[in-house]
Amino acid sequence: MTKAGRRHFIKTFGCQMNVYDSERMSEALGVSGFTAADEPESADLLILNTCHIREKAAEKVYSELGRLRQIKAAREKDGHRTTIAIAGCVAQAEGREILTRAPVVDLVVGPQSYHRLGDLVRQAEGSGGGVVDVDFPEDDKFKHLPARTASRRAPAAFLTVQEGCDKFCTFCVVPYTRGVEYSRPVREIVEEAERLAAAGVCELTLLGQNVNAYHGQSEDGASWSLARLLVRLAEIPAIERLRYTTSHPRDMSDDLIAVHGSQNKVMPYLHLPFQAGSNRILGAMNRKHTREEYLDLVRRIREARPDMALSTDIIVGFPGETDADFEQTLQLVDEVNFAQAYSFKFSARPGTPAETMDDQVPDEIKSVRLQELQAMLSAQQTAFNASCVGRRFDVLFERHGRRPGQLVGRSPYLQAVHADGADELMGRMIEVEILRAGPNSLEADILSVADSSQLVMAAV
Ligand code: SAH
Ligand code: SF4
Ligand code: F3S
């Protein structure tokens, strides 16, 4: 039984996969009669989609819950029943413990149970709370989630093709929160991509914790690589751009590298985390690659696609990291020259091998190292942006800027590009010339826009 007119509000933390999951949860709740509320104060169901990757991320959940507790109390005083749910990686990692620490929570649901969300919410409402589902079910959640809705959406979309991780880097919680590696079947992905394309999407970012380890089954039973999947998705006419993230250096196969050289729709931008520059630390991290292998890989990628730009993730202060080890991280950064990067202080996570390793690095040292690294990375990013001045790019305009008449879109390298242009350019891929560059964005002139009458003339 569904009650009409109920509303949900989902707040999302963490990585792109959580953003994707929140969209799918929202669609699944639609089937149970929920629509999205604009603010938490008017929602009957409040969901936090959480991240467990570092301590700060996980702790955010509890501060956020403080706010939700007040909203729930105020609403219930007015006679509006309100359910609070914790989803995502903290839900998976902490399970029932969350109910003990925060009794205001009614439902804890792990990432592999989202297809049961409607039922779980009903259960929580019926029992007044205390519902936990953090199983890793045998059946595929993607099969049981409702198909993507065909309603008009933003021009760029995420699509999860692979989930989970078998790599077990010693610092990382993902293999425990997302489970073993799983690749969705080819047909399911192609159908979802086609639905998104029909709803106005022209840029797709394929997601996976180890996206380039993708090995999904095709209908004839063959196992497809990510390279083959990209080639297939590039055949969908409305899909103009393809990206994928996050890749592991170990799984960057020759056919995938070659796709960057042969497929124009695959963007010349790759997120390729290396984590640390010293082989001793890479070994202790169980990264399964050396600095030399990483550098060789970068060389081969740039050979296949000379205009390729790279971004990366780096951890400073992993247990046992000395000044000399850290120096090797700086040298590697210097050698590769990244267009963008994310860097973090090592955070000891419960249940991971690195949590209990000897020689934990004091926080003050981590801070000094992070500062030095970030100064270098931000200089590289600024220089990369400056090197784009005078170049012509296709930009996919996605939103309005702060100034009236200003549009904001993404370059092939994911840089934010601001330009003055008419509203009708929104959601379209337009050629621009880059005029100016800042550390975090570019400014551009729109070059020429073939309007639809010109297109028709050209076709005649
Ligand atoms: N699957 C991706 C990354 C997933 S997590 C990969 O294999 O690279 C995103 C980033 O968070 C990681 O690349 C790493 O740099 C960082 N990270 C993960 N665990 C961390 C920890 N315990 N402390 C600090 N940073 C961490
Ligand atoms: Fe975590 Fe390593 Fe798996 Fe990436 S490859 S998700 S860092 S365990
Ligand atoms: Fe965080 Fe889970 Fe993503 S731990 S980074 S939300 S996979």
The pLDDT tens digits for 139-183 are 779 989 988 877 778 899 999 999 999 999 999 999 999 999 999
d(CA 291, CA 254): 19
Residue 33 has pLDDT above 70, yes or no: yes
Residue range 54-71: average pLDDT?
A: 94
Task: Specify the pLDDT at position 18.
Answer: 97
* Ligand 2 center to 372 CA (angstroms): 25
Lowest mean pLDDT among 3-12, 45-54, 188-197, 444-453: 444-453
Q: What are the counts of helices (DSSP H) followed by strands (DSSP E) for the chain?
A: 15, 21
* Ligand 3 center to 53 CA (angstroms): 6
305 lines ligand 1 (CB under 6 A): no
* Ligand 2 center to 180 CA (angstroms): 11
Pick the residue whose CA is nearest to atom 4 on ligand 2.
Answer: 209
Residue 154 · residue 121 · CB < 8 Å? no
Amino acid at the residue 78:
D
Atom of ligand 1 nearest to the CA of 210: 1
d(CA 12, CA 106): 18
d(CA 411, CA 414): 5
Residue 272 has pLDDT above 80, yes or no: yes
* Ligand 1 center to 223 CA (angstroms): 28
Which residues' Cβ are closer than 6 Å to ligand 3?
14-15, 17-18, 51-53, 88-89, 173-174, 177-178
The pLDDT tens digits for 358-416 are 999 999 999 999 999 999 999 999 999 999 999 999 999 999 999 999 999 999 999 99
Q: Which residues of 150-180 are buried (b: 16+ CB within 10 A; e: fewer)?
A: eeeeebbbbbbbbbbbebebbbbbbbbbbbe
* Ligand 2 center to 68 CA (angstroms): 32
Residue 456 has pLDDT above 70, yes or no: no
Task: Kindly state the helix (H) or strand (E) to which residue 142 belongs, with its residue range.
Answer: helix 141-144
Residue range 235-250: average pLDDT?
A: 97
* Ligand 2 center to 163 CA (angstroms): 11
- Ligand 1 probe mutation, 165, 168, 172, 333, most atoms within 8 A of CB: 172
Pick the residue whose CA is nearest to atom 14 on ligand 1.
Answer: 313
Q: To the nearest whole percent, how much of the chain has pLDDT over 90?
A: 91
Q: Which two tokens stand for residue 241?
A: 């751009």
Q: Dihedral, CA atoms, 157, 161, 167, 169, nearest 10 degrees?
A: 10
Task: Specify the pLDDT at position 459.
Answer: 40
Q: How far is CA 252 from the centre of its chain?
A: 19
Residue 4 has pLDDT above 70, yes or no: no
Pick the residue whose CA is nearest to atom 7 on ligand 3.
Answer: 174
Residue 98 · residue 105 · CB < 8 Å? yes
DSSP label at residue 211:
G
* Ligand 1 center to 13 CA (angstroms): 15
Q: Which two tokens stand for residue 224?
A: 């497809």
Q: Please name which of 148, 120, 150 lies closest in space to residue 132, comparing C-alpha atoms.
A: 120
The pLDDT tens digits for 119-144 are 999 999 999 889 999 998 777 799 89
d(CA 431, CA 446): 6
354 lines ligand 2 (CB under 6 A): no
Task: Specify the pLDDT at position 450.
Answer: 57
List of residues 6+ apart from 268 with CB closer than 8 A:
260, 305, 307, 308, 309, 412, 413
Max Cα–Cα distance, the chain, nearest Å: 73
Query: What count of other Cβ atoms lies within 10 Å of the Cβ of residue 229?
Result: 27
Task: Specify the pLDDT at position 57.
Answer: 92
Task: Specify the pLDDT at position 241.
Answer: 98
Residue range 200-217: average pLDDT?
A: 97
d(CA 242, CA 270): 11
Tell me whether the omega of the peptide bond preceding residue 246 falls within 30 degrees of 0, making it cis: yes
Q: Which ligand is nearest to the CA of 288?
A: 2
* Ligand 2 center to 312 CA (angstroms): 13
Task: Specify the pLDDT at position 452.
Answer: 42
Mean pLDDT of the chain: 94
The pLDDT tens digits for 313-345 are 999 999 999 999 999 999 999 999 999 999 999
Residue 353 · residue 394 · CB < 8 Å? no
169 lines ligand 2 (CB under 6 A): yes
Residue 460 has pLDDT above 70, yes or no: no
Q: Dihedral, CA atoms, 385, 159, 225, 273, nearest 10 degrees?
A: 40
245 lines ligand 1 (CB under 6 A): no
317 lines ligand 2 (CB under 6 A): no
DSSP label at residue 205:
E
Pick the residue whose CA is nearest to atom 1 on ligand 3.
Answer: 51
d(CA 36, CA 27): 10
Task: Specify the pLDDT at position 148.
Answer: 87
Q: How far is CA 406 from the centre of its chain?
A: 27
Task: Specify the pLDDT at position 128.
Answer: 86
